[in-house]
Structure 1
């Protein structure tokens, strides 16, 4: 027996105090309604109504059931609503991997905007390298990640991303700083400052290959995980750094110079496991809007048929 359905019918009869009016309100014939109430009474082994020619009135057992039924049906509806909202990604927790290079101001804006759109979804943000994110996404211990590409996405789905041209960070008093743009070959003879390979092996190897293919073969590579440390190594004469322009924003003794024809472009893209968290796509949409609106980006639509409105890549305007 569908107890919830029978309780709903019972509540209407109890409120109308008449089977005919209750049946009309429910949009059903009176005989089936009477049969279901009798079935409910048999199930509960209790008489719920006293019947006479003028209508029905609740018994003591019926009065108790009415009070309990209303509470139970309210809870059923609340549960149904919560489950539906959770399935749409409007409730719960979203575990998100973020690489250390994402600027704090950008991250804060993404969090604020997502909270405005999805106030009852809690973001569990984790600062993780691409290598760590791929492992956790594969093990389904992470719902969505922002990965430094290229990366092995076997078993994962790649979503939208951002492209950032890389330039050279050099001392302000160096000869290289006097040029508006630099070719990679102009860096020949200098050592290189770059992020540690373990954080994003694919990007690291692709960057070194681009250097070699364009006439820059550094004899030594010094590693810096943070912009501050990278600038410190540059100022200490340990090499020139390849990095986005934000690396040099807070150190007045170094300058960032774009590279001719953008031979090195670093891509970050979202990825998630199969059967993704229902809020994952919404977070990606929010993050891409933030990156689009930061005043330094323009949309680049991938070459595909009928792209989704949010599925775009953004490229910083030099």
Structure 2
């Protein structure tokens, strides 16, 4: 025999209140709707549960027996539902975020610490890896979200997250004109330290260099931004880096200037598995992180 927990709960409420009207209020349905629910339950059982008159509702003998037999099961069901709900809410207090090691090391830890002061109950789990690995983890549902330079791929929802600018860095002793902003034309005749062509950063930079038509020489080719900055400090050439790489320039003898005419943005995206709902608190954390990064790029001096 099949019956629903709603039918069983309706039966218990009518027995408790001895009134269809009051039981209907507790279930947020109409008295007529409750009557239909009980009648269907009685038809399934094959016997009457209540004797009804215009003035009172009483349990039949079979109804009283069923009430005693199912009371414990209904309590256990309520307790189980509460346990599952608490467990689900507990799991929702953790958000897993993947991004590249550079961003993970230089931006996220301080942001996470500040956010923990606001929402100590939400735990952010940080996963640092190359972009392809982060993408695969998000696709597989092993990460809630990723932040970085991601292309559009099937099965992944991609939304704009933050725009970083491109920055020219030179050795302090390099001798070229300096200032907070320099045009792309200032690269004319320079030796440029670049990243590997497989770098998504470098691909965007190469596109703009082609558009600017400036003539330059290619110096060293580095695989890591750290190496690129070190070569610039040694005055092996100049380099173009995204503004989120500026922490690597700290305590180094380099000068930083934003590239303008035109200003070229490097857009970070937030990615999630398509169709997957984010844990509770994730959207709030993402909003906080955007605000934090906007403040961070202002503090480091190049926006």
Fold agreement, TM-score > 0.5: yes
* CA 1:176–1:100: 2 relative to 1, 3 Å: farther
Q: What is the CA deviation profile of residues 17-38 of structure 1, one whole-angstrom value per residue up to 9, with x for unaligned ones?
A: xxxx232321336976875675
Question: What's the counterpart of residue 73 of structure 2?
Answer: 68
Per-residue CA shift, 1:87-144, capped at 9, x if unaligned? xxx8276443212332646313543538956945x54432233333344445555443
Q: Distance in 2 between matches of 1:275 and 1:3?
A: 30
For 1:296, what is the secondary structure of its paired residue? helix
Match in the other structure for 2:241: 243
The alignment partner of 1:174 has SS state of: coil
Provide the TM-score with structure 2 as the length reference.
0.69
Deviation at 1:207, TM superposition (A): 0.7
CA contact (8 A) 2:183 2:262 kept: no
> Cα RMSD between the aligned structures?
4.4
The 5 Å alignment of 1:42-81 reads: 62-63=67-68, 65-76=70-81, 79=84
Mapping for residues 156-235 of structure 1, pairs under 5 Å: 156-176=156-176, 178-200=178-200, 203-214=201-212, 215-227=214-226, 229-235=227-233
Structure 2: how far apart are the matches of 1:179 and 1:76?
Answer: 64
- The count of corresponding residues between Structure 1 and Structure 2 is 283
Residue equivalent to 1:127: 128
Match of 2:28 in 1: none
- Greater shift in the superposed pair: 210-219 or 163-172: 210-219
Q: CA deviation at 1:194?
A: 3.6
Work out the CA distance in 2 between the residues paired with 1:170 and 1:145. 32
Separation in 2, partners of 1:156, 1:243: 27
Q: 1:277 to 1:115 in 2, by over 3 A?
A: farther
Q: Which has the larger helix fraction?
A: 2
2:108 is aligned to 107
> Residues of 1 paired with 2:297 and 2:168: CA distance?
21
Q: What do the CA deviations read for 1:28-83 (whole angstroms, capped 9, x no partner)?
A: 3697687567568669xxx999xxx9955996874453233223134346657877
Would the aligned equivalents of 2:228 and 2:239 in 1 still touch at CA under 8 Å? yes
Gaps of 5+ in 1: 298-315
Q: Verify the 8 A CA contact 2:178 2:257 in the aligned structure 1.
A: no
